[in-house]
């Protein structure tokens, strides 16, 4: 099983959704596609008079912003992808973490508002949907134990699903061919290097949560973790994130059902 995370900025590029669908089909394996929608969320926020704000690449989400994120991620962004996948011959099913309680979340930080972190993944239901031949297209809006809906970073959701389901591969598809050190793409990054890449400013913005999520997945035992562009998804290029040391993972996401 392959978990593919795709960023929201890429979804606005004409033809991207259709090309992604073809690439996912060519993977030839059960796939869960977790998507963002950041640019569309920010655009609608501005149209409604809300100023977008981020801290370390994570969207600050007050009550009004949560409504916007839910509308865009669970609605427009999700259904555009589902439509493209269906047209490519994939039996795509659009869901969010709220549907079926697939992803349960807890509040992450007071400073970020209604932003959550993954507490539980209902892997049995996801595995069943894949066994029926569905390609799951997943919006990262998730559900708290108290019934509160939370906006959860899509990179973190993708990593949590991959870890919980013991996926064979996790790919973060972005608009650059991998992690760059100036103009050079790093073919391989160890989990120990990630902190230094952040401190030195080599990686910043949206690449920070991607690398942190990739680190979590690699340390939890996911064998193939990559940051790639769309071309790299099927060609095997990009930046591979590897664990710096062997570890028998007891990550909480490994034992969900």
Q: What is the pLDDT of residue 245?
A: 62
pLDDT in tens, 157-203: 999 999 999 999 999 999 889 999 888 999 999 999 999 999 998 88
Average pLDDT of the chain is 90
- CATH for 183: 3.40.1160.10
Residue 257: predicted pLDDT: 41
Report pLDDT for 205. Answer: 82
Q: Which domain holds residue 219?
A: 2-255
Q: Burial of 208 by CB count in 10 Å (0-12 exposed, 13-18 middle, 19+ buried)?
A: middle
The whole-angstrom separation of Cα 39 and Cα 7 is 9
What per-residue confidence (pLDDT) applies to 248? 43
Per the structure, the count of domains in the chain is: 1
* Mean pLDDT score, 210-222: 95
């Amino acid at each position: 099983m392959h978990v593919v995370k795709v960023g929201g900025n890429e979804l606005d590029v004409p033809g991207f959704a259709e090309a992604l669908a073809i690439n996912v089909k060519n993977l030839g394996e059960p796939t869960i596609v977790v998507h963002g929608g950041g640019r569309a969320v920010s655009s609608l926020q501005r149209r409604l008079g809300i100023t977008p704000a981020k801290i370390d690449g994570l969207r600050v989400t007050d009550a009004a912003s949560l409504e916007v994120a839910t509308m865009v991620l669970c609605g427009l962004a999700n259904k555009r992808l589902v439509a493209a996948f269906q047209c490519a011959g994939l039996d795509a099913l659009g869901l969010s973490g709220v549907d079926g309680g697939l992803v349960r979340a807890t509040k992450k930080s007071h400073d970020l508002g209604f932003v959550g972190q993954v507490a539980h993944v209902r892997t049995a239901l996801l595995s069943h949907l894949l066994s029926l031949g569905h390609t799951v297209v997943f919006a990262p809006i998730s559900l708290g134990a108290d019934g509160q809906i939370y906006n959860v970073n899509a990179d973190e959701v993708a990593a949590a699903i991959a870890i919980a389901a013991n996926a064979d591969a996790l790919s973060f598809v972005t608009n650059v061919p991998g992690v760059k050190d100036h103009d050079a793409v790093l073919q391989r990054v160890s989990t120990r290097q990630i902190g230094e890449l952040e401190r030195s400013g080599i990686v910043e913005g949206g690449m920070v949560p991607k690398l942190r999520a990739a680190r979590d997945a690699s340390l939890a035992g996911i064998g193939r973790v990559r940051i790639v562009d769309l071309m790299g998804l099927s060609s095997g290029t990009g930046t591979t994130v590897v664990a710096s040391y062997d570890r028998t993972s007891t990550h909480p996401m490994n034992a969900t059902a």
